[in-house]
Amino acid sequence: MMVRTGIIRRLAQQFCFLALSIGFVCSAAAQPQSSSVPRWEIYARCAAAYQANWQLRQAARTRDMSDMIREQSEDFKNKAMNFYQSDLNVPPTEARQHLDDYLRANLDEFIVMERAGTLESYIDQCPAD
């Protein structure tokens, strides 16, 4: 009986370690912030995340809540544009065009995340400022 208890305990420990490792890897993959990613891209990805959230849930929300989500997306987009403009020293029109193109090209990724139920955890990691 002692051998069986020891085996069960070791299996339980290994399972817990595996579960924690998987959780760590998954949460690290969902992080929008990284030291190797430019600031403008962090904010642009958050803008796209909020945009996907707004597009797919606006029918289920009150108008005020839906407007707040859309405004949050615009805030992140504007911050991304300002970072892009200052970091790359480009005119505002070029920065806006680049951000519009970036959002169009990456929106589907966040729509997939929304449908998979993982977008909220991504949004939770977006910068608060």
Q: What is the pLDDT of residues 61-81, one digit of tens each?
A: 898 998 999 999 999 999 999
Cα 59 off chain centre by = 22
Bin 31: left if φ > 0, else alpha if -120 < ψ < 50, else beta.
beta
pTM above 0.75, yes or no: no
Low-confidence residues in the chain, pLDDT < 70:
1-35
Structure tokens at 78: 């504007």
Domain ranges of the chain: 31-124
Of 74, 66, 29, nearest to 48 (Cα)?
Answer: 74
